[in-house]
Amino acid sequence: MALLRQGLDKDKIHSETGQVVGVENVNFEVSDGEIFVVMGLSGSGKSTLVRMINGLIKPSSGRILIDDIDIASCSEEELLSLRRNKVSMVFQHFALFPHKTVAENVAFGLKIKGVQAAERRERAHAVLEQVGLANRADSYPEELSGGMQQRVGLARGLAADPEILLMDEPFGALDPLIRRDMQAELLELQRSLKKTIVFITHDLNEALILGNRIAIMRNGRFVQVGSAEEIVGSPANDYVAAFTADIDRSRVFRAKSIAVEPQAIEAGAQVDDAARRMEDLELDALYVTDGDKVAGILTYRSAIEACRCGTKIVREVASHRFPAASPDAYLNDLYPMARMGLPIALRDAHGRLTGVVPPQAVFDKLAGAA
């Protein structure tokens, strides 16, 4: 610790003392209901970090607060209570008891807590239902696929109804397709359970898919913390930039990140007014609103043709066929719409126009130009 305070790096300290600096000067907060992902290569310190959070490794200095309990200095009794009631851990290699059934594995933590057998069985079945394995309750781990075994590990973590889930590369041993299924399943469960999750991974794609916020870790330190869009769009240094260089940006950025202020006209307005407005704004189209809802789109070409034919009112000319998406849609969802050549309407859950995405903006963002 004295050498660290003097500014020596971890390699120099190891060569002089034989001691390894696992985690250095890491400060962060995780909000209630958040998935906080720690991403780093092997040896970056991420597994050491997560093991400190539940007291498996004691920090050399500093504090680790879960609510008002400091894991770094609390008593053994407080630590045991915390593990039994507030924090559960899901491991990469399942750690299932081979001689116990699926239901018995899931209920093991409840047994340690002193929960009666009938209640243990009932709660185990309920959580197995959540992960889609209710029909395998009486099977043994060896009878299950790797993906099923990992779902059992997840169910065991959920059975005690913890507030916090610590997940140390839980999908790292799975085949890519099964891994993708488990990621989707975790997100689906999180929508209803709203647990606080610290998720450890060495896979940036997995981090980007799962994390509300992501911490990039290197040599025991956090080099950047932010949302997926912040990490990919504004890397903090060359190390992060190299990590994100090959990422599919279309699956990271959302429509709202490139939206512009919507220009709209009421359905009852005059067509010639709409045409003049498009000329003034140098736009090829305007969205048409009826009250606070999107009612259609009016192109400049249609407006000029309508004026020649004597049509007066916008609603009589507007097209009801227009590209529309949610503000939270990923850019890859916008590809087919961008091909139409029309601005893409972003509508909220009530059908209100919240923004417009020019087709060119989609491709500029993918190219890193926006």
Assign residue 299 the CATH number of its domain: 3.10.580.10
Residue 369's pLDDT band (cuts 50, 70, 90): low
Beta-carbon contacts of residue 242 (< 8 Å; ≥ 6 apart): none
Give the range among 116-130, 173-187, 197-211 with minimum mean pLDDT: 173-187
Model confidence at 152: pLDDT above 80: yes
pTM for the whole thing?
0.84
Longest dimension (CA), the chain: 89
> What's the pLDDT score for residue 264?
93
> β-pairing, 69-70 with 65-66?
antiparallel
Any domain includes 132: no
- The shares of helix, strand and coil residues in the chain, as percent rounded to the nearest 5, are 45, 20, 40
Buried b (16+ CB within 10 A) or exposed e, 199-222: bbbbbbbbbbbbbebbbbbbbbbb
Alpha carbon distances (Å) from 132 to 8, 93, 139, 152, 184: 51, 20, 14, 10, 13
Considering the domain boundaries, does residue 96 fall inside one? no
- H-helix segments, the chain: 2-5, 10-17, 46-53, 76-85, 102-112, 117-130, 146-159, 176-193, 204-210, 228-233, 238-244, 271-281, 300-309, 335-338, 359-366
Helix (H, G, I), strand (E, B) or coil at 313: strand
- Name the phi and psi angles at 77, rounded to 5: -65, -45
Q: What pLDDT band is residue 261 in, cutting at 50, 70 and 90?
A: very high
The mean per-residue pLDDT over the stretch 223-246 comes to 92
User: Among all chains, which residue has been given the structure tokens 């995405």?
Assistant: 357
Q: pLDDT band at residue 195, thresholds of 50, 70 and 90?
A: very high
Q: How confident is the model at residue 211 (pLDDT cuts 50, 70, 90)?
A: very high
Say if 271 falls within a structural domain: yes
pLDDT at 322 over 70: yes
136 lies in some domain = no
Q: What is the mean pLDDT of residues 218-228?
A: 94
Q: What is the mean pLDDT of residues 116-122?
A: 90
| Mean pLDDT, residues 161-170 taken together | 91
Report the share of the chain in percent with pLDDT over 90.
58
Token pair belonging to 276: 């003049």
Least confident piece of the model among 22-26, 83-87, 137-141, 212-216:
83-87
pLDDT of residue 346: 95
Mean pLDDT to the nearest integer, 185-194: 90
pLDDT score, position 159: 87
> Sorting pLDDT into bands at 50, 70 and 90, what band is 174?
confident
Residues in the chain: 370
Query: What are φ and ψ of residue 89, in 5° steps?
Result: -125, 140
Per-residue pLDDT at 232: 92
Whole-angstrom distance, CA of residue 171 vs CA of residue 107: 21
How confident is residue 288, by pLDDT bands cut at 50, 70 and 90? very high
Angstrom distances, CA of residue 327 to CA of 116, 259, 266, 351, 354: 48, 8, 22, 11, 8
| pLDDT at residue 310, as a whole number | 85
Give domain status of residue 286, yes or no.
yes
The answer to whether 343 and 278 are in contact (CB under 8 A) is no
Please give the pLDDT value at position 323. 94
pLDDT at residue 364 above 70? yes
169 falls within a domain: no
**pLDDT given for residue 5 in this prediction:** 87
Mean pLDDT (whole number) for 198-206: 93
Number of compact structural domains in the chain: 1
Evaluate whether residue 32 is within a structural domain: no
* pLDDT of 196 above 70: yes
pLDDT band at residue 100, thresholds of 50, 70 and 90? very high
Range of the domain at 343: 255-366
50 assigned to some structural domain: no
